Amino acid sequence: MSRLADAVVVVTGGGSGLGRTYCESLAHEGARVVVADIDGDSAAAVAGALDGQAPPRAVAVAADVTSEAGAEAIAQTALDAFQRIDVLVNNAGSYPHVAFEQIGYDDWRRVMSVNLDSVFLCSRAVLGQMKAQGEGSIINVATNLVWTGLAGMVHYVAAKAGVVGFTRAFAREVGGYGIRVNAIAPGAVVPDVVMTDAARERIDAIVNYQCLQRPQRSRDLVGTVLFLASPESAFISGQVITVDGGLTTH
């Protein structure tokens, strides 16, 4: 039997990159998937590739996760299509590389909004339904950089540190309703594209410090997300699981 048979899973930022990988893997395990992305065409393409069945197994929604209206639209799309929400994967994010002195306040607020405010807004949007069901799993995507820091990404690391704090506090607040809240902290995921020599050198330097000395791929995160989404993690909440090949150990 599939690990997530008929579970309804919402994935933000599901139209590309890691989000797309999560959607594909969740659907493979039997989940019904809501692909949410600000790029409606990308979301529709992913949902279309996962669907083709009646009743539908995947739906797309174009929404801005930094707005209350966008977050509410995502939750309502899930309820209209599937009548429940079992899992929320707060994956949407933005990670610009900018020196601190070049970060304007508008830039700071934008990165905070995409990476942290969206977690608050989307979690709030699904909370009522999860409370009514008496169960649910919220999976927030942080980064291993919250343990190490990184020059040139102060706003991103600060936002993701906020995600870690949110995860721990929110887990305590909603545990009484049977809702679990956890986070995954990935390392540097190598994209499936041709990289510049400089990018390759940065990846090589990271790999040299890992316990497992190979580049991290998106598939390396799938097992942890599936675990946190499934009943296998039914007694785990408030945790941050780092998946970075042992670059950080704590």
In a domain, residue 41? The reply is yes
Rounded to two decimals, what is the model's pTM? Answer: 0.95
Residue appearing with tokens 């995954």: 184
Q: Is the peptide bond before 55 cis (omega within 30 degrees of 0)?
A: yes
Residue 26 lies in a domain: yes
Q: Would you say residue 1 has pLDDT above 60? A: no
Give residue 1's Cα distance to chain centre: 25
Structural domain harbouring 108: 8-243
Please compute, for residue 109, the number of CA atoms within 13 A of its CA located in the half-sphere on the CB side.
3
Query: Tell me: the pLDDT tens digits for 109-146?
Result: 999 999 999 999 999 999 999 999 999 999 999 999 99
Q: Tell me whether residue 103 is in a domain.
A: yes
Calpha distance 211→146 (Å, rounded): 19
Residues near 1 by Cβ (< 8 Å), separated by ≥ 6?
A: 30
Q: Which of 202, 197, 203 is nearest to 216 (CA)?
A: 203
Q: Is 156 a catalytic residue?
A: yes
How many domains does the chain divide into? 1
Render 176-239 in DSSP notation, one character per residue: GGTEEEEEEEE--BPPSSPPPHHHHHHHHHHHHHSSS-S-B-GGGGHHHHHHHHSGGGTT--S-
Q: What is the pLDDT of residues 67-110, one digit of tens each?
A: 999 999 999 999 999 999 999 999 999 999 999 999 999 999 99
Check residue 53 and give its pLDDT.
58
Tokens found for residue 24: 């594909």
Is residue 57 in a domain? yes
Q: The tokens of 77 are what?
A: 């799309």
User: CB neighbours (10 Å) of residue 5?
Assistant: 10
Which of 191, 204, 230 lies closest to 95, judged by CA? Answer: 191
pLDDT of residue 51: 77
The reply to whether 37 falls in a domain is: yes
Residue 22 lies in a domain: yes
Provide the total of helices (H) and of strands (E) in the chain, helices listed first.
9, 7
Contacts of 133 (CB under 8 A, 6+ apart): 84, 85, 86, 178
Q: Is residue 2 part of a domain?
A: no
The alpha carbon of 32 is separated from its chain's Cα centroid by a whole number of angstroms, namely 17
Residue 248, domain member (yes or no): no
Is the confidence at residue 198, as pLDDT, over 90?
A: no
* Virtual torsion, Cα 155, 139, 40, 20, nearest 10 deg: 100
Of the residues 22, 95, 105, 156, only one is catalytic, namely 156
Residue 114 carries which DSSP code?
I
What distance lies between CA 24 and its chain's CA centroid? 14
pLDDT of residue 195: 65
Q: Which CA distances in Å does 138 have to 20, 94, 123, 135, 219?
A: 18, 20, 7, 10, 20
CATH number of the domain that 190 lies in? Answer: 3.40.50.720
